[in-house]
Structure 1
């Protein structure tokens, strides 16, 4: 199998992008700072700021938790709760799918790179592995960009959420801002999409015939040597017939003659 390590430099960078993107996507899934709500009534929400993620909502409260604002008061919600808006409902599912797809893409691409550097598989197998890994990363990036963009749209338009009374949250804030989770999620999606494109960009290298063909003795057309060595097409045409290959002072190697007879 030919040496292929130099053909996968771009794919090695793509694997780094996929790794960082997958880690950032996992962090985004668990963060609560998707939306930042600023509320007017600070009786319960002491700091006047509440954070809303795709799994829970949190805020500091001197009344419910700690007078020193050292601990957050959090309430968990899921897709079973009727008040959950569709952008959060979709985000819960797609972010989990993105994590699994990103992990599958990383494993597939890592196995392909292993075969590249160790030469343990045919080139066609490596190409298929890179193609599969690239598709996994592309789908993972799409699964992240959809919920982050949708929640970004909700923040920009100041959409409300009808929380139940047990959450001690208003249905609409005075104003809301984009949280760090959305920014991290967008960056994660970009890296995964770039990684997918780079892996799909891999092409099989052109493999030359490594066999050494001897030059026969008895030919006196040494003037053709220069034209053959400088013009590959003339070498190919001359190679088609052994009788037309010029000899420039070489001697016959019996090992080559034996190989030709075999």
Structure 2
């Protein structure tokens, strides 16, 4: 690998790391959808967040402060709609692919630093990392698109009575977790593009004739 491409590889690795961290953070946040409705018990405006793995409701107490109550859900809960279950799988696969992409990038960097790549090699050791990152980005984009469609079309969730949440809010919009997921998807795509472009640079490098 040519020395001038070393900076590109470091940038790609940094993008992979940040993308994977943002993907994991966004997966655990409830702010994928922001619901606004009137609480049937107190008749006060209420804000709730509906995420991939949990839903959180904000209640106002007598001191005008917000009390956050979160409810977890998992694969065994029958009330979880299909689009949330699909997003659960998409985000899990994205995080796993990002983790494997990070590991293969570390291996490729160590191989490069140890000078184990043959001088006449036409195979880019970062190709696998690039492919994994591009696929992770694609899965993330699918999850973002599905959440966007469900928000625009106001698909509801039949929460159990213990959640004290309606199945459909008065109004709903996309939450801040979407911004993190979009940033992670862009970073995964950029890092994958950088790693795969190195393969083109290597294949176009003229080899000396003996």
Q: TM-score, normalised by structure 2?
A: 0.86
Answer with 175-184 or 80-89: which moved more: 80-89
Aligned runs of 1:93-172 on 2, under 5 Å?
93-122=89-118, 127-172=123-168
SS in structure 1 at match of 2:123: helix
SS in 1 for 2:172: strand
Separation in structure 2 between the aligned mates of residue 115 and residue 79 of structure 1, nearest angstrom:
40
List alignment gaps of at least 5 residues for structure 1: 212-262
For 1:70 and 1:109, the matched residues in 2 are separated by: 44
8 Å CA contact retained: 1:115, 1:121: yes
Shift of 1:91: 1.3
Larger gyration radius, structure 1 or structure 2: 1
Normalized per residue, which structure has more strand?
Answer: 2
| Cα distance per residue 1:170-202 (max 9 Å; x no partner) | 111110011011121111111101211211111
Alignment length, in residue pairs? 206
**Aligned match of 2:192:** 196
Q: CA deviation at 1:126?
A: 8.6
Q: Point out the more displaced range, 119-128 or 67-76.
A: 119-128
| 8 A contact 1:45–1:61 mirrored in 2 | no
The structure with higher relative contact order (CA 8 Å, sep 6+) is 2
Question: Does the CA-based 8 Å contact 1:61-1:67 persist in structure 2?
Answer: no
Partner of 1:90: 86
Gaps of 5+ in 2: none
Write the distance in 2 (CA, Å) between the matches of 1:117 and 1:174.
57
Q: 1:178 to 1:152 in 2, by over 3 A?
A: same
The reply to whether residue 174 of structure 1 matches residue 178 of structure 2 is no
Kindly indicate whether the alpha-carbon contact (under 8 Å) linking 1:17 and 1:192 is maintained by their aligned counterparts in 2: yes
After superposition, the Cα gap between the structure-2 partners of 1:186 and 1:78, relative to the gap in structure 1 and judged at 3 Å, is same
Q: Please tell me whether residue 40 in structure 1 is matched to residue 38 in structure 2.
A: yes
Query: How far apart are 1:11 and its partner, in Å?
Result: 2.8
Contact conserved, 2:56 with 2:71, CA < 8 A, in 1?
A: yes
Give 3-state SS (helix, strand or coil) of 1:78's partner: coil
